[in-house]
Amino acid sequence: MNQARHRDGPIAHINIKKDTSFAMLLEAQRRGYELHYMEMADLYLINGEARARTRTLRVEQNYDKWYEFGSEQEIKLADLDVILMRKDPPFDTEFIYATYILERAEEEGTLIVNKPQSLRDCNEKLYTAWFSDLTPETLVTRNKAQLKAFWEKHGDIIMKPLDGMGGASIFRVKEGDPNIGVIAETLTELGNRYCMAQNYLPRSKMAISASWSSTASRCLTAWRVFRRAAKPAATWRLVVAANPVR
């Protein structure tokens, strides 16, 4: 079987100690998949047919040299069995265009993980509104006064943009912080962009789950669980499971 991994940015930037893409690539290779690699700039449509420039890829558990590219090819995306869509935020128009290209391949039978329409419909942060009983108290607004009132209510909150990742532009605002106004103005761009605020929870109480794609045929799920260790840094436990077709 052929599997392609789509990701923006050089593959060399992945931290294989914690990146879930690497775990999935290793497992796919172990199961006999032929791996291909492509980036945003490699995707294109011609006469309605989704295509890409790809390079074959091999991976190994080696921190010094964990990947190796093979030959470059021009292929129909419909000729691939599975495409892992692993693009990082921001969620912008280029991201949406890429999902349309991938959707053409999906219509011809290629399994896209995550499903392109689901990627468009389910913003990683906003979609938590459908699971509010499992999250901290949450406010999504572009109104500075509402953000300040939420902060005054809880005294210790987290504020963040809706399209960021990896901790970028995330603020913890404690009781009495004189910068609450500036932070609210910065994140909302003076009331022109939505942001999210949540009451702060101690790290020891957190368990974060990241799930990829509910498709008709299989679901890939990873659970990231932070545990307190004897040493200062928290440790990661990561399990990736592929559920069989039911």
pLDDT of residue 230: 36
**Sheet containing 138-141: which strands, arranged edge to edge?**
138-141, 195-199, 156-161, 171-174
Cα distance from N-terminal residue to C-terminal residue, the chain: 20
pLDDT of residue 241: 30
State pTM to two decimals: 0.70
pLDDT of residue 213: 38
In sequence order, the β-bridge partners of residue 140 are 196
Q: Tell me which long-range contacts 149-154 makes (C-beta under 8 A, separation of at least 24).
A: 150/197, 151/180, 151/197, 154/199, 154/200
Q: CA separation (Å) from 86 to 25, 48, 122, 230? A: 12, 23, 15, 33
Query: How would you classify the pairing of strands 208-214 and 138-141?
Result: unpaired
Consecutive sets of 10 residues in the chain, 246 residues long: mean pLDDT of each?
63 86 92 93 97 95 92 95 85 91 97 93 89 95 98 97 86 97 98 97 57 36 34 29 32
pLDDT of residue 2: 67
Domains and CATH numbers, the chain: 10-122+235-242 (3.40.50.20), 137-200 (3.30.1490.20)
Q: Quick check: 85 and 119 in contact, CB under 8 A?
A: yes
Supply the DSSP string of 66-83, one letter for each residue. -EEEEEEEEEEGGG-SEE
